[in-house]
Structure formats: C-alpha cells, structure tokens
Chain A
C-alpha cells in the first residue's frame, strides 16, 4: 500500500474560538477540497496533499493585522510536515 505525497491527507486541529473562526474560514476559502469537522472544542481541517494558511486571507476576514506567528495561538495539533512558515503563509504538506 502506498500513497503519494500529493494526495495523502494532511490536517490541522484548531481551537474553537471567536478569533479562530476567521482563521478557519480563511483556510476553507484558500484550500479547495478541504474538509471541516467539528469536534469537542476543536475544529479539524483536512485536505488532500497540502494545506495553506495565508496572512492576507486571515486579515481580510479578521479586519485587522495578523502575523503568521499568531497561528501558534490557534493550532492544537497537526499531521503532515510544516514545509513553510514565513511572514505571508504557512504550508503543511508531506515531503514524500
């Protein structure tokens, strides 16, 4: 059994809160084909192969500045590999 990095699911668990609602909406809008699941206190978002959080789309929904470091207050867990985390985006994907 083998799957490819392009389609194998990656995901992130986010704490359910007022601020994070905008983060979740931004992720939904940025990642076509993602699945959002509500668990006790948590929102789990999974996507095939790759999941991206962009500063711009979060700021648009939040109506204020948001630096990507702030994602640390939202994230509870993830699966996949954090490929990129810079001023503009966070990318979770498998390498291989």
Chain B
C-alpha cells in the first residue's frame, strides 16, 4: 500500500512545542519574579532551572483541542445510543449501580476540585512547560466532571441514590473520606499538591482507583460508564506523566529536595491508599459479576508495577518505597471484608444499598481469599444469615468513632492480628486524638495543627450541626430519600428492576420511578 506523501509541515512537533512554551514565558522587567510567582518558595523546595521541565507529550493548543473534541464526540455518541435503546435494561443487576453511586458521590466532586487546583498551578508555577501541562489537566478535569455527571444522569432517571451527590459529598459520613483527602491536598502548597495528586494519586494509585471501576462497568453491562472511563483514562496517561515529570524534576533540581519529597510520598501514599479502601469493597462485594479481587488488583497494579517498577527507578535519586507500605501489603487479605462488613451495617444511613453476599459470592470470596475469608469473615455472614432467617437484618444504631486523619470508622485491625481492632492515641494541646493505624497516626503527629481541624461527621452530628438529634433528622439533612439506601432486597431499586425486566408491557418503563 502506498500512502500519499505528507504535505510538509512548517515546524516539527518539538519545534511547535518550543514555540508555544517560549511565547508563554517572559522575564518580568518591572517587578521581581517572586512577586509574579509568590507561592513556589515557602515549602522549601529549591528550583534552579525551570526550563528543565518539559512535557513529553509536547502538546500544543491545536493538538489538545483536536483530540479532546474527538474524545467527547465518541463518548456522546455512546450516551445517545444508550439513552435511545433503553440501555439501563442491559445491566447485570440494579445493585451494580451502588458502585456508580459511590463513584458519583465520592469521586466526581474530586474531579472538579482537581480542575480548580490545576488552574491555580497553571497560573502559579514558574515554568511555562508545567504551566501549560497544568492548564490542559485543569480543562481535562472539568471535562471529566461534566462527562461523569452526564453519563450517570442516565441512571438517575430510573434509580435512587444519584440525585443529590454534590450536597452529599459535603455532608455524608462516608463521603468525608474522599472529601477530606482532597481538601488536605488543596490546602497544601503547590509542590506538595503535585506530589499528593499529580504523583501519588494519578501515578501511584490511579490504576487501582479507576481500572476496577471501568472493568466492573465492562463486566456488568454498563457501556456508558466504561466509555467515559476510558475517555477519562486517556487523559489520565497525560496526568500520570505530569506527576512523574514533577517528581523527577524536583529530585533532579536540588539534593535538598529529596527528603522533603520523600516525606510527601510517605504521607500521600498512605492518605491515598486509605481512600482506596472504598474501591476494595466495591470490587469484592458490590459488583454482581466480579472482575478481579482487590488482592489481585493490588498485587498487579501496586506491588508489581509500582514497587517492582517505579520505585526501582526512583531509587536512583535516593527515594525509598513509602513508609507503612508493608502494612498496606499485609492488609490486602482483610481490607475489603472489614470495610464491607461495616458498610453493610450502616447502609441505612447511606445513599447506596448493601446486601448479604449469596452462596455464589461467598464461594468466590473463599476462593480468592483462601487464607482469611472462611476463617474470619464467613462466620460473621453465617451469623447474619441466622438473623435474616429470623427476620432481623441488622443495622447498627449507634455512631462509630472515626479516624482523625482518614475519617474512616475505626474498623481496621492490627497489622499482625486480624482479630484486634487497631487504635492509636496521640495527645496534642491537652486533647486526645484517635487514629486507625500507624500510617494515619504518623501523618497526624507530623502536622497535628492541621488535622485537629478535621470536620468529623460523627462529632458534627453530636454537636448538633447536622439537622438534628435523630437518624431521620440527619438523613433529611443529608438529602437522603426513601429508596436511596438500606437493604437492597425489597428496596425500590430492586422492585423497579424486577418490574421492568419481568413485565410484558415495557411501554411505561421509567415513568413510575
């Protein structure tokens, strides 16, 4: 096959990128550089030559807009087809949507916050290369926010739990886990934010966070989510690059940056890892059709690719694997079970439903966790099976104590003993603070003045700041309506699902929701 010769371009990709970044930059003549860029010194990071930071993608405005427009066109074609063909009927089971409720409530608002902070970096980093890469990422994050809302709004027409995600993100107890994580990053300086979000979240943990959701969508008949996921992930590879460039640039600029960056890696690995606890239970319990276990995902995406790949590369600069990583590795056998067992008992106060894992699901768990499920968690479910038989599906009526740092209920166990709850105490200014692990305690004690300010949902309820003293008062303040949470079996979602799938006459689907 012959290909028509290309029309000669005036400039190569490299030259175009150089022209763009050159034209976005100039030396200030009547003010000091530190007045133009006032935020890049106080964290103690030393930069000698900003021109050494180049974006390997060599993106220019024309290429960026051309390909982003193409990605959106492809996605919206799928969304239209989905809406036109009653695509919601092709899901494996309505309970699958719990994973998507969690995503919309917990992750989509973070995309918007990322948009804001990358816009700030696009103004305030000294180098034109990272400024332009941050600008592209800022626009990407806005696109992700919008496409996720558009995609999942298709399910809001038919099912509960999707209607008040923004307010819930700011108010509901389990959503304070992702929200406080991101707020922690937003209130850090620009370089710490780059390590927190650009590096730890987007490079170190991104595959653990997003690939399970997307593969779950693919296995469970959720075509639009799979499409937005891949569309967003294609931007993600640029974001990973920005994160990796950031860390390499900081490490290469000055040796004094190394210990600062190491401490940020130690902190943000553990902060991000704790957020992935929600993904772990989603993979192992929420998906009707399983994709891979949390343990398997952790081994592939974290142990193999990050510890075995990335950290070998970073060792050159004197960077070591994150502190407390051994606890995360030890926890892979127990994490999802402990988290789901807690969510199961508190879903009456959540905007998603939970249910008892049936025999098939339990046998999958037993096969995938041969060392722990049968011994430690099956007995809990056996006990709950007896409760169910007696008509007593149980919910916890009290409120749990939360970790001062990650804000997850104190449900994790000692690293070497899965039968003892791990609880650490620290004192600061005469007050006692509780954390869930050595990792969170270390983070607390490094910056106690920051974490004592945490907005802990349980404390706020007791202080009378969440709508009133009773569970219905608080749920009303959360904007949780009948059918949003509780037990899946017998729920509004389950009833709608059954009616829409069993009925011969499909003409009224959706109108009764």
Binding site for B on A (CB under 8 A): 2-3, 5, 8-11, 13, 15, 39-42, 59-60, 63-65, 68-70, 72-87, 94-96
Contact present for B309 and A8 (CB under 8 Å): yes
Residues of B within 8 A of A (CB): 1, 3-4, 6, 9, 12-14, 56-59, 63, 66-67, 70-71, 206-207, 211, 214-215, 218-219, 226, 230, 233-234, 236-238, 240-241, 244, 248, 291, 305-306, 308-310, 312-317
Q: How far is the CB of A24 from chain B (nearest CB, A)?
A: 15
Contacts of B9 in A (CB 8 A): 87
CB-CB under 8 A for A63 and B1, given A8-B309, A75-B237: yes
Q: Are B244 and A81 in contact (CB under 8 A)?
A: yes
Given contacts A85-B58, A86-B14, contact A77 B233 (CB under 8 A): yes
Chain B residues within an 8 Å CB radius of A95 = 248, 313, 316
New A-B pairs, 12, CB < 8 Å, besides A87-B9, A95-B313:
A15-B230, A40-B219, A69-B13, A69-B59, A72-B67, A72-B234, A75-B237, A76-B234, A76-B237, A82-B241, A86-B12, A94-B309
Nearest neighbor of A4 in chain B, beta-carbon distance:
B312
B248: chain A residues within 8 A (beta carbon): 81, 95
Q: Is the CB of B215 within 8 A of A82?
A: no
Query: Measured between alpha carbons, how far is A87 from B317 in the docked complex, in Å?
Result: 31
Report Cα–Cα, A80/B237, bound state, in Å: 11
Q: Is the CB of A96 within 8 A of B313?
A: yes
Which residue of A5, A69, A78, A84 is within 8 Å of B63 (Cβ)? A69
Q: How far is the CA of A64 from the CA of B233 in the complex (A)?
A: 26
User: How far is A77 from B236 in the complex, measured between Cα atoms in Å?
Assistant: 7
Q: How many contacting A-B pairs (Cβ < 8 A)?
A: 104
> Cα distance A28–B214 when bound, in Å?
25
Given contact pairs A72-B234, A73-B67, A76-B234, A41 touches B244 in the complex (Cβ within 8 A): no
Judged by DSSP, the binding face of B is helix
Chain B residues near A63: list those with CB within 8 A: 1, 3
Q: CB-CB < 8 A to B314: which residues of A? A: 96
A-B contact pairs, 16 of them (CB 8 A): A5-B313, A8-B312, A13-B211, A15-B234, A41-B214, A63-B3, A65-B6, A69-B66, A73-B70, A75-B234, A77-B240, A79-B306, A82-B241, A85-B13, A95-B313, A96-B317
Q: How far is the CA of A59 from the CA of B313 in the complex (A)?
A: 33
B315 is contacted by which of A2, A39, A59, A70 (Cβ under 8 Å)? A2
B242 CB to closest chain A CB (Å) equals 11
- On whether the beta carbons of B56 and A82 are closer than 8 Å, the reply is yes
Flag if B316 contacts A85 (CB, 8 Å): no
In the docked arrangement, what's the CA distance between A93 and B314, Å?
Answer: 13
> Please, which residues of chain A bring their CB within 8 A of the CB of B206?
77
How far is B226's CA from A15's CA once the two chains are assembled, in angstroms? 10
Residues of A within 8 A of B214 (CB): 41
Other-chain residue from B67, B240, B309 in contact with A10 (beta carbon distance below 8 A): B309
What's the Cα separation between A65 and B309 when bound, in Å? 34
Nearest chain B CB to A72 CB, angstrom units: 5
- Report whether B312 and A3 are in contact in the complex, using a CB–CB cutoff of 8 Å: yes
Is the beta-carbon distance between A94 and B313 smaller than 8 angstroms?
yes
